[in-house]
Amino acid sequence: MISCTCRLNAVAQRNCGQVLMLQHLEEQHPGSMKQIAAERKNVLEKALSNTNKTPSIATTKTTNSILIPVVFHFVIDSNAFNSIGGIAGIENRINSQLTVINNDFNAQNADQSKIPTVWKPLFANVGIQFGLATTSPTGNASVGYDLRIVPNGTRYDITNGAKAAKFSASGGIDAWDNTRYLNIWVANLYVASSTALGVTTPPTFPGYSLPELGVTINYLAFGSRTSASQPFIRNIDRGRTLTHELGHYFFLIHTWGDDGGLCPGTGGIDDGIAETPPETDAIFNAPSFPKFDACSPSGNGVMFMNYMDYTDDTAMFLFTNQQAAVMQAELAVGGHSNSLALHPYLADTNFKTIKDVKIYPNPTSDYINIEYNSLQYKLLKVDVVDMQGKRIIQKEEPNISQLDIRGLPSAIYIINCYFEHKVYTQKIRVQ
């Protein structure tokens, strides 16, 4: 389990509770650390064995990216839901977040221009594309995300992988089939007295079942800022937290190796990636190049702009060729996540919602009218769920144009209109 934390203070910065969490894992399952280290060593040896025999992939803009279906599970309270702008805000953040991770994993991020000249040859196109799931595990059309409103003040402890957010029985949302979908939970996270940015549970971690695999990210670190009024953790507003956590999911660790500030040659393990210079500990904020530390006191210094370091979102902008090789190996035949690469038909790389749908009146107390272009769209079914995620009404028939909601308690509900390949979602108020 790999995690990051951040304190909301005057000078907020990315910080990590990884050691605490791994200690917790070791306490629950003695021998876990040794097992994880051995597995990672195998992954690195296999992935990097041929890196000196193949051409650099640094600037390749391949059209044959590995496409992975992604589903986002929002497990947030009503305060968080309202603060990010409700359903429209959720979709805005999903859209911006997908743009960021697809750019970052395909060497298309605009800030690559900031990479120091000496490291430009190491700049990698990882070749992984993330598409919003358009089909659910049951075969129904999907909007690619779901929502459960939890009691106000609910937070999830990352020391156990935010487990409660991942199961409906504990008030969260169950994972979709982890062999076909990459599950990402968005919630209010914490560790000890700090706000947590994210936690990742990759395959093979002992003590964690298949339904727990995936990434959990703080709702205030999810997405990229599109307006000044949006709430984000300070300096963590450009979507790079998920880029970082996805690196963890595909078996990368932090650039300094989480070895307690040691250097190679003095007991330190570093990150096992020769292309990232030795590093004493995490680098924070947005330093200027070159940045030196005890492990790299001269030359080019440390690669603080690597996605696996802890600088601000605006100061990180590359994976290296060897890091890319590790992640690609995880998705190749024999890799832990190979099955995720086998279902591209479940994903849509262009996140869009149907705009020309009208649902009215809103608020209402008896009937809901649904208007849409029936020549352009085929409406398959409609359902209504409450803010706890419970389905209240489901109607499945051709040309649905009206729902009878008489008898529903006064409250806010979510109405989902399932068209072919697209879903239109809107919040309604019943009086």
Could you list the active site residues? 245
Distance CA 311, CA 282 (A): 8
Instruction: Please state, in angstroms and rounded to a whole number, the distance separating the CA atoms of residues 347 and 181.
Output: 9
Lookup: tokens for 194: 């700090």
CA distances from 206 to 26, 139, 385, 394 (A): 9, 31, 36, 40
Q: How many CA atoms lie within 13 A of 302 on its CB side?
A: 32
How far is the C-alpha of 428 from the C-alpha of 384, rounded, in Å?
Answer: 9
Peptide bond into 290 cis (omega under 30): yes
Please work out, in degrees rounded to the nearest 5, the angle formed at the alpha carbon of residue 267 by the alpha carbons of 266 and 273. 100
Structure tokens that stand for 367 in this block? 């009937």
- C-alpha 134/C-alpha 131 separation (Å) is 9
Could you write out the DSSP letters of every residue in 80-113? HHHHTTHHHHHHHHHHHHHHHHHHHHTT--GGGG
CA 52 – CA 54 distance, rounded (Å): 6
| Rounded Cα–Cα distance for residues 357 and 149 (Å) | 25
Task: Select from 355, 425, 343, 350 the least CA-distant residue to 99.
Answer: 350
Residue (of 374, 371, 390, 393) closest to 382 by Cα position: 393
Rounded CA-CA distance 424/422 in Å is 7
Identify the CA nearest to 308 among candidates 221, 237, 233, 249: 249
Residue 118 contacts residue 300 (beta carbons within 8 Å): yes
Name residue, tokens 């024999």.
Answer: 334
Report CA Rg, the chain: 22
H helical segments located in 161-272: 240-249
Closest CA to 306 of 292, 293, 320, 294: 320
As a whole number of angstroms, the distance between CA 142 and CA 315 comes to 35
Which 8-state DSSP code applies to residue 54?
Answer: S
Rounded to 10 degrees, the C-alpha dihedral 168/345/208/35 comes to -170
